[in-house]
Structure formats: structure tokens, C-alpha cells
Amino acid sequence: MNAARSKNKEFLTLLGIETSCDETAAAIIRGPAQDDAMGREVQEPILANIIHSQFADHADYGGVVPEIAARAHVERVDSIIEQALDEAKCTMADIDAIAVTAGPGLVGGVMVGLTTAKAISLSHAIPLIPVNHLAAHALTVRMVENIAFPFLVLLVSGGHTQLLWVESATRFRRLGTTIDDAAGEAFDKIAQLLGLPSPGGPNLEALAHTGRTDRFAMPRPLHKREGCDFSFSGLKTATRLLLEQGVEEGDNHQLRADIAASFQQAAADHLAARTKAALTACEALLGGQNAPRQLVIAGGVAANMTVKTTLQAMAETHDWRLIVPPAKLCTDNGAMIAWAGLEMIRADAVPPAEQAMALAARPRWPLDNNPEGPRHGGGRKGPKA
């Protein structure tokens, strides 16, 4: 069983399975087998993209409960895959390869998706491609844009905040990472303190839309520290103290809106400042090459308009092009996993069948595999790479 068996085809059809956190997702994509599509119009590769979010399952707990998430994946993954096949008007006979998240993420959830993919691979003799969840986020933009390597990715989600220099579909250089909380985790925590329902980030953004960003002087983390790392714990603490000093539950909507707006702008400014430092580092990596200066935002927080506009202004100042995939592709989904699998086929980076089948779920899986690189612990939403 060899993924290369399909490379004589002009187009390949892949099933993607994603179960790394609190979304059970499956998708079918069809794309060119060779990376020769650059320079011509990008065609819609997504035939189906089914996502079941577990917000209701975790709403009473203030965060994702790993055991509940894993059980929900077990209960739903088969039907989600069937829905994707039905919507794409495909059968397993049409699938050239199965791409599945093998990490990083909540290990119970990753195990569910990986075991399911292995079972389908064995029973239907379809090649299996284990995918790094972070790589999938970083490569998603190439599914919808004619963007060549290299480019810089700011990955911001509930479990990850990293700056990655993407040299190819298989080569990533990590320039910075969070030293405590992920950006999305901080948004969700402040939303919870504000008494907002899940999903916290979008509801905080809606509240902040009616607030003033200049009412409170929020700190800008690490503003005196060089480098590209992030920190959100101090900003969370400052926001919590404001709430404790001036707001009682259910009281003073405008004050809450102003606090939400001030926090959101401070978080966006922090992301922009650290990304600006990464642009400088990337200019050195490019070494004066006349290559496009391309900055991509990926992950769920990329859907936040304040974050996007703040980064847009910073990028324009430094003559970099900002590219943001559609919001539906920023959150965890099966299409990004399937696309990452296609990129691995194009790059001849698919592991042998025996190795793929033997791979265990990985709660941590740093893209650059650099033991001397930045390290940090797991947050409220689970382990981060």
C-alpha cells in the first residue's frame, strides 16, 4: 500500500479526518497531484467539509474536558465521515488517500481519529497519511491562494500561538511561541470572566464591538523584550483585576464592553508587535532575495476582525502582504488535514505504510523538532507543541 501509487493521476481525492480537540471533522478534497498549479486560477478543491463542534458538551465546565471530548469523537466520527462522503457524492473506492491528524492535541481525541483512519485504510486498502495539525493550519492558505514558499505564518488558536517560517510543505522554522497561554485560550478565559457563553472568543468580539478601546490602559506584554515569543498571562491578570474592581455579575453592560474592547485591542497589539519582530527575522532569512513578502494568519483567532485589521496595518507599513484564509478554514476542520496530506504526496513525504500504521497519537509534535527551541507547557485547552 503506497500513496505514490496515485501520483500518475492528474487529480487526487483525499479524505481528511480531524479530532484533535473539540471538533469532530471530516472532509473530501480533490486537487492537482503535482504542485504545478501556481500562477493559474485556484479552483475550489473542497467537495465536502463537515464539522461537529462540541460546545454544548463542554459548556458547563468552563473549558474542554478531554474525556468528554474523546467520548464525543467516538460517538460521532463514523457518521461525520459518512456525511462527508455523501455530500461529496463519493465512495471509499474514489478515495486515493486518507489524511488524519496524528498530533498535537488532546491524546484521547487524536487516538479516536487515528484509529478510525487506520481501520478504514486497512479495510479498503487506501494509503494512510499521518498529518501534523500545526502543519495543516500553516498550509491551509495554499488551498485557496496562489502562494509560493516561503512565507511567514502567525498561528493563533485556542491551543497554539506560534510564528512559523514555512520553507516548504515539510520544512518549518519556529521563530516564536507563547511562553504561557495561547491567544485563543486568553480570549476564552476573559469571555468566561465577563459571563459570556461559549464560544467565548466570538462572543467577546461581539461585546467589544460596542466598547471603547481607550478607556483602560491595558499592558502590552513583553514590550521591552527582544524576540518573537508571546505572553498572555499578565494581560489576563490585568483584565481580571479590572473586572474585580469595577464590575459585579450582571451589572453595567457598557463597562464590560469597554473592558472587552480594551483587552481585545491590547491582545491584537501584542500579536502585531511580536509579528513585526518576526518580519525583521524573515528579512534576514531572505537575505535580500527579491521574493514576495507574505504574512499569513491561521487558526481560530484569525477570524477576529480587530486582530486582522491591526496586523494588516502593521504588514502594510513594512511592505508585506497579509493573507487570511476564509474564516471557515481558520478553525479546526477536515479540509485542512486533507490538503496537508495532498501537500505531503506532492513533496514525496508520505511515510511507508508500515510506519504510518505503527504511528501512535502524539499529544506534542513540534514542527521544527528543535530540542533547543522555545518550550512551554500545556494550557487550559490542552497540550501545545
CATH of the domain at 349: 3.30.420.40
Distance (Å, rounded) from C-alpha 381 to C-alpha 24?
A: 16
Q: Which helix (H) or strand (E) holds 115?
A: helix 107-124
Do 182 and 318 share a structural domain?
A: yes
Do 133 and 36 share a structural domain?
A: yes
The DSSP bridge pattern shows strands 23-32 and 46-53 to be antiparallel
Do 157 and 134 share a structural domain?
A: no
Residue 129 phi, psi (nearest 5): -125, 105
CA distances from residue 382 to 202, 271, 289, 385 in whole angstroms, order as listed: 20, 21, 39, 10
Distance (Å, rounded) from C-alpha 21 to C-alpha 4?
A: 30
Say what the pLDDT of residue 40 is: 52
For the chain, the domain total comes to: 2
Residue 172 domain flag: yes
Residue 377 domain flag: no
CA 180 and chain centroid, separation: 17
Task: Tell me which DSSP letter residue 64 carries.
Answer: -
- Residue 30 in contact with residue 341, Cβ under 8 Å? no
Of 47, 46, 45, 55, give the one whose Cα is nearest residue 24. Answer: 55
Do 52 and 36 share a structural domain?
A: yes
Say what the pLDDT of residue 371 is: 42
Do 290 and 160 share a structural domain?
A: yes
Residue 382 domain flag: no
Buried residues in 328-352 as b, exposed as e (16+ CB within 10 A): ebbbbbbbbbbbbbbbbbbeeebbe
- Residue 71 in contact with residue 65, Cβ under 8 Å? no
Say what the pLDDT of residue 383 is: 43
Residue 374 domain flag: no
Residue 18 domain flag: yes
Distance (Å, rounded) from C-alpha 221 to C-alpha 223?
A: 5
Residues of the chain falling short of pLDDT 70: 1-7, 36-42, 247-251, 369-385
pTM of model > 0.85: yes
Domain of residue 99, residue span: 3-143+331-358
Do 167 and 236 share a structural domain?
A: yes
Do 339 and 311 share a structural domain?
A: no
DSSP tally for the chain: helices H, then strands E: 13, 10
**Which one of 324, 350, 367 terminates a domain?**
324
Do 67 and 49 share a structural domain?
A: yes
**Which one of 280, 299, 324 terminates a domain?**
324
Say what the pLDDT of residue 207 is: 97
Do 177 and 92 share a structural domain?
A: no
Residue 372 domain flag: no
Do 92 and 198 share a structural domain?
A: no
Do 268 and 214 share a structural domain?
A: yes
Say what the pLDDT of residue 38 is: 53
Say what the pLDDT of residue 291 is: 86
Residue type, 281: A
Do 152 and 119 share a structural domain?
A: no
Say what the pLDDT of residue 130 is: 98
Residue 198 domain flag: yes
Task: Tell me which DSSP letter residue 379 carries.
Answer: B
Residue 314 domain flag: yes
CA distances from residue 34 to 248, 335, 346 in whole angstroms, order as listed: 59, 18, 6
Say what the pLDDT of residue 367 is: 86
Beta strands in the chain, from DSSP E residues, in sequence order: 11-18, 23-32, 46-53, 97-103, 128-132, 151-156, 161-166, 172-177, 294-298, 321-323
Distance (Å, rounded) from C-alpha 91 to C-alpha 360?
A: 27
